[in-house]
Amino acid sequence: MNPEIQTWIEQLRAGDARALARAISVVENHSVGWSELLKAIFPYSGHARILGLTGQPGAGKSTLVDQLARYYRKEGLSIGIIAVDPTSPYTGGAILGDRIRMQEHSSDAGIYIRSMATRGSLGGLARTTADVSTILDASGRDLIMIETVGVGQDEVDIVRLADITVVILVPGMGDDVQTIKAGIMEIADIFVINKSDREGAERVEREIRALQSLAVRTDKWTPLIVKTVATEGTGIPELAGAIREYENHLQRENLALKRNIQNWQARLVEMLRDAMLEKARHQLGDGEMAQYAAEVAEHKRDPYTLIEEIVQGRRH
Amino acid sequence: MNPEIQTWIEQLRAGDARALARAISVVENHSVGWSELLKAIFPYSGHARILGLTGQPGAGKSTLVDQLARYYRKEGLSIGIIAVDPTSPYTGGAILGDRIRMQEHSSDAGIYIRSMATRGSLGGLARTTADVSTILDASGRDLIMIETVGVGQDEVDIVRLADITVVILVPGMGDDVQTIKAGIMEIADIFVINKSDREGAERVEREIRALQSLAVRTDKWTPLIVKTVATEGTGIPELAGAIREYENHLQRENLALKRNIQNWQARLVEMLRDAMLEKARHQLGDGEMAQYAAEVAEHKRDPYTLIEEIVQGRRH
């Protein structure tokens, strides 16, 4: 292996925050050496517990994650936080939020926070998040928390790489809440009703219960529901307790590895897809693609036949 | 061409709603013949105006789309609506919503509504939406409205296929609103502030203006802001006016084709990626992938090297 990369990894594993930050940036931006770095670092990963937390904007994710981080720090765990925020990089919103949150924990080297906002990155947000998580894992963090915004496929892909998935709801989030809940029923191991001092918390709980009666999980787990008021720290120990309970369930039923294998199966397919795309793009070149796009846009060529021909090697 | 497909397309183009519904289902589910159907139908597409509408859950998208549909129906346009809803299919929420909305317009053959909820479909939600849009287009609809929920990459991909993108905001949607707006600034041709009778509408407008001063569009267009109360029909003619103004801008600056070519360039790359993946999956087989996933999960194998070997053909 490249001795420079080896030194880098050693620094990173020794707790050097700058070496860690640089590694994350290289992987996030697919800078030179990113692939070599990941290959070299992978054997050191696999020890961290990965917690995925998801919920709508305004659900109070950041606050909840910060509170959980404080709780686990008191238990002596070292923590990495990845805040996935599919906003445009040019406004700098994510970076700003990052700095504000980092300041609060700046005296504590046991918490490392990184925001990700790489919409449209080569490998996609889910893929990049997974790679960054691998690096944090290899750096020796005990617990990695990944928080995501939104309710789209991205989010599902991102939380799929977690060992434990927490879905955060709040009372009174509008008429489509029912719909959202339906969409995330399958991925939630634990539900948090945050801002539970608001009116409607009981109704949210009833709705979750009602939807649960429709869903059948193959792993014999009925997702727990925890009520919190994250801004006041209320319910945080209970949430940590629910997480522990699910961990015990995974262990008891021998499900952790099984879930991990399933996750990797999905991730490998995604990685394969990305790699194939890169290969295809390389073969075709941007100019040729632009030419084809113009022909299709002007309806001189049907795109479905075109792609078939390219894949079969009959074109270019 | 397959004479059966030819007949099918003729029925569909003659306004047969069942032929249309069947075509959409075949494409959505990648049922036998989907690819052949798309190839055959593509030459008939390219005439419809495609309007993308996006906004958070609770922003009132459906109501706004319904109101716009009524408005355009009075102008004599035939309309197709694709409601993209990344919720789980098993709860049937999307199908239910579909039926409720269809009932309202059931006496009017000039409006066709279809909900899409095919999370995890082979080609991804964006790809499938594009294909369904092509079918609606070929069926002779003058205007296709695509409404999407969420703020993830999916949403961006979906609205990218639209000629005109409308982003719907509402006052008082929580502390993360700023962040969301930043993320969608680049894709909005028109902003709608719906539920604008609520407190905070002016502030939302000011925030949009502030963010606009940061963004630079290459097409010399400053996105218009329209205030609506969709439930009462307030602001709908103004929204239609803003849409018309943007259309005029596209025409004046000769941007419509340019935008279309850009869209197709992105779509072709996605289609190529999907096709390559399918080929790779076919070559590998599910069993082998499961085996690899187990080895990676147990850290016996590094996934980055593995994928490289597969793509290079060094691992069969």
pLDDT of residue B91: 36
Q: Which residues in chain A have their CB less than 8 angstroms from residue B272's CB?
A: 277, 280-281, 284, 307, 310-311
Percent share of chain A, pLDDT over 70: 82
Contact B174 A281 (CB under 8 A): no
**Averaged pLDDT, A30-46:** 92
Find all residues with CB under 8 Å of A274, minimum gap 6, and list them. Answer: A122, A123, A124, A127, B273
Contact B58 A156 (CB under 8 A): no
CATH topology of domain A47-255: Rossmann fold (3.40.50)
Residue A300, classified by CB atoms within 10 Å of its CB into exposed (0-12), middle (13-18) or buried (19+), is exposed
Task: Name the A residues in 224-263 with CB < 8 Å from any B CB.
Answer: 257, 260-263
pLDDT of residue B93: 45
Distance CA(A67)–CA(A233), nearest Å, equals 6
Whether the pLDDT of residue A196 is over 50: the answer is: yes
**Averaged pLDDT, A41-67:** 90
Nearest-CB residue to B183 (from A87, A260, A274): A87
pLDDT of residue B65: 94
pTM: 0.67
Mapped onto helix, strand or coil, the DSSP state of residue A119 is coil
Distance CA(A305)–CA(B271), nearest Å, equals 11
Whether the pLDDT of residue A189 is over 50: the answer is: yes
Please give the single-letter amino acid code of residue B240: A
pLDDT of residue A182: 52
pLDDT-derived band at A90 (thresholds 50, 70, 90) equals very low
For residue A195, the Cα-to-chain-centroid distance in whole angstroms is 23
Q: Using a CB–CB cutoff of 8 Å, tell me whether A294 touches chain B.
A: yes
Q: Which residues in chain B have their CB less than 8 angstroms from residue A178's CB?
A: 93
Inter-chain CB pairs, A–B, below 8 Å: 259
Interface pTM, i.e. ipTM: 0.80
Q: Locate the domains of chain A by residue range.
A: 47-255, 269-311
pLDDT of residue A180: 54
CA-nearest residue to A151 within chain B is: B150
Distance CA(A34)–CA(A31), nearest Å, equals 6
CA-nearest residue to B42 within chain A is: A302
pLDDT-derived band at A30 (thresholds 50, 70, 90) equals confident
Nearest-CB residue to B182 (from A93, A277, A281): A93
pLDDT-derived band at A175 (thresholds 50, 70, 90) equals very low
Q: Using a CB–CB cutoff of 8 Å, tell me whether B38 touches chain A.
A: yes
Whether the pLDDT of residue A45 is over 80: the answer is: yes
Nearest-CB residue to B269 (from A42, A289, A294): A289
Q: Which of B9, B87, B305 to mutate to test the interface with A (most CBs of A within 10 A)?
A: B87
Q: Using a CB–CB cutoff of 8 Å, tell me whether B283 touches chain A.
A: no
Contact A280 B298 (CB under 8 A): no
pLDDT tens readout for residues A112-166: 888 876 554 445 677 888 999 999 999 999 999 999 875 555 666 777 778 999 9
Other beta carbons within 10 Å of A308: 16
Nearest-CB residue to B264 (from A85, A281, A293): A293
Residue pair B114/B147 in contact (Cβ under 8 Å)? The answer is no
A30 vs B80, which has greater pLDDT?
Answer: B80
pLDDT of residue B272: 86
Residue corresponding to tokens 């859950």: B57
pLDDT of residue B175: 40
Question: With respect to CATH, is domain B46-254 assigned 3.20.20.70?
Answer: no
Mapped onto helix, strand or coil, the DSSP state of residue B49 is strand
Average pLDDT of chain A, as a whole number: 83
Q: Which residues in chain A have their CB less than 8 angstroms from residue B261's CB?
A: 290, 293-294, 297
pLDDT of residue A117: 66
pLDDT of residue A215: 67
Low-confidence ranges of chain B (pLDDT < 70): 1, 85-107, 117-124, 150-156, 173-185, 214-216, 315-316
pLDDT of residue A91: 36
